[in-house]
Structure 1
Amino acid sequence: MSIKIAIQGVKASFHEEAAYKYFGQDIETIECGSFKQTCEMLKHGKADYVVMAIENSIAGSILPNYNLLRDYRFHIIGEVHLNIQQNLLALPGVKLSDIQFVESHPIAIRQCDEFLGEHPEWTIKEGMDTAGCAKKISEDKLTHTAAIASEYAAKIYGLNILEKRIETHKKNATRFLILANEVVEQKAANKASLSFQTGNAVGSLASVLQCFAEQNVNLSKIQSMPVVGRRNEYDFYVDVEWKKQSDFDAAIRKVLKHTVNFSIMGEYIKNEKV
């Protein structure tokens, strides 16, 4: 029986591509209208894993997803990087001059702002998902609307590519997390995602970061999020990488003395390939 992967979006979305890249082709993807819905699928056992975008090299961190990680407390068991190539898609026979509306996910729109800026006559509309916008054009036979989506979406939904590679920066990559209900132990783990809070004293965050530096553990990302309902208090989310497990273990022992609500959200193998 195929493993079930909950994805935000529909078939041919970047989340589905990321799922195939991490798990291979022999999977069943469950289409969800929101990231929260993917988490609900995993929580209630209707999916085995969730693939969730967490940051893009152009648009930055996807902050609402950090809130979902905090609320659901799933385990991060892996990551996957995907090179994002955006294209302008429309129904066969539709020309660039016919376009009045362009629809896509807000982050995809931001990734193509330079190209879209060359066409001030277009009305830009935000949709839930890149591939979902392509699907809508195909199903509703929208002759004045184009979607920003992948080449794969064009193929799946029978659309033409009016313009290829319209993303502003060609080195455009998204990092996705693989989430599970249970811890999956990985002996070769060399990366971890952690969350914690610090006191308000001067230098309290610096003390934590120093613990990692002293043990030769590299800090590859840090993200702060306000603690809901508590003024001037923040959750810190950090990703760290190491060469020796003993260095990481020693760093964690030190960090525990300087933090509260400390949590290892997952230890996994760093994904180098884009």
Structure 2
Amino acid sequence: MGLKIAIQGVKASFHEEASFKYFGEDIETIECDTFKKTCELLKQKKVDYVVMAIENSIAGSILPNYNLLRDYKFNIVGEIALSIHQNLLALPGVKLADIKFIESHQMAIRQCEEFLQELPDVKISESSDTAASAAKVANQKLTDTAAIAGTLAAKTYGLNILEAKIETNKKNSTRFLVLSNDVEEQASANKASLSFQTGNSVGSLASILQCFADQNINLSKIQSMPVIGKRNEYDFFVDVEWKKQSDYDAAIRKVLKHSINFNIMGEYVKNDRI
């Protein structure tokens, strides 16, 4: 067996699917109940990498994971964009009319709100993972319960797809980060994840953003998180992309003059192809 990859969730989860897409299938995925557990395993060097979801095109950013990135200070060495199609899964022979309960991860439920609104008499419950919900239906032989999960989960746990592609937006995708204890130099890097704080003065954030614009650096994402215990202070997490390394280097030099607690979380190859 090859690399050990910590994932939140169980076999056939979207995290495992993303791991296979990035590393290939000759890996060992280590199942974890929580994202914090994946980070602990990496910190203890019991795994080689963590694959962590960070944002979904429908449900938005996974904010608690930004706190983990800040607290553990791992290096971001890659990213994966995965097209997400959610399906309603049930035991063979079970019909939609038989379903009284549906369960899945909260992000999956949010992605399927329009479909679920058409089932007002069905109770919706949150679980730790999409594939774990599928496994529960299969293992406990629940004839009144369906799970929202991917096609890999249906195949793995022997469930039928009652309704396919029930996500509200058919261009649903999730971005995952690949985390490592070590910096991995990548000669063709063209994307970086950065974090910093600003001074509490008028235009301080705008000054930093202008530094990127002046050097033709594309700001592909910005996320703010409150600094714990400090009122009106924020950590800013940004993703930037560039075509010329010299432009990026110049932008960083400028940003350093305007920011506080600046940190390069990772420089890696842009990989947003679905």
TM-score by length of structure 1 reads: 0.99
Query: Does 2:73 correspond to 1:73?
Result: yes
Q: Report the counterpart of residue 224 of structure 2 in structure 1.
A: 224
Name 2:170's counterpart in structure 1.
170
Give the share of equivalent positions with the same residue, in percent.
74
Q: Does 1:196 align with 2:196?
A: yes
CA distance in 2 between counterparts of 1:60 and 1:155 reads 28
Cα deviation code 1:58-94 (max 9, x no counterpart): 0000000000000000000000000000000001111
Matches within 5 A, 1:86-97: 86-97=86-97
Partner of 1:266: 266
Aligned-partner Cα distance in 2 for 1:220–1:156: 36
Which residue type is aligned with residue 199 of structure 1?
G
Q: Number of paired residues?
A: 274
1:103 aligns with 2:100: no
- The letter of the residue matching 1:181 is N
RMSD: 0.5
| Matched ranges for 1:116-265 at <5 A | 116-265=116-265
Structure 1 residue runs of 4+, over 2 Å off?
Answer: none
Residue identity in the other structure for 1:157? Y
Q: Is the 8 A contact 2:4 2:49 kept in 1?
A: yes
Unaligned 5+ segments in structure 1 are: none
Paired AA for residue 39 in structure 2: C
1:226 to partner: Cα distance: 0.1
Q: Distance in 1 between matches of 2:30 and 2:156?
A: 17
The Cα of 1:148 is off from its aligned counterpart by: 0.1
User: How far 1:173 sits from its partner (Å)?
Assistant: 0.3
Q: Is the contact between residue 79 and residue 272 of structure 2 (CA under 8 Å) also seen in structure 1?
A: no
- The aligned counterpart of 1:46 is 46
Distance 1:272 1:75 in 2: 19
* 2:92 maps to 1:84: no
**Distance (Å, rounded) in 1 between the aligned partners of 2:43 and 2:142:** 37
Which secondary structure does the structure 2 equivalent of 1:167 belong to?
A: coil
SS of alignment partner, residue 29 of structure 2: strand
Distance in 2 between the 1:199 and 1:257 partners? 11
CA offset digits 1:201-253 (Å, max 9, x no partner): 10000000000001111100000000000000000000000000110000000
Residues 89, 149 of structure 2: 8 Å contact kept: yes
Separation in 2, partners of 1:166, 1:152:
15
Cα deviation, residue 272, structure 1: 3.0
Structure 1 position 192, deviation (Å) = 0.1
The separation in 2 between residues aligned to 1:66 and 1:114, in whole angstroms, is 28
SS at match of 2:253: helix
Per-residue Cα deviation, 1:240-274 (whole angstroms, up to 9, x for no partner): 00000110000000000000100000000000311
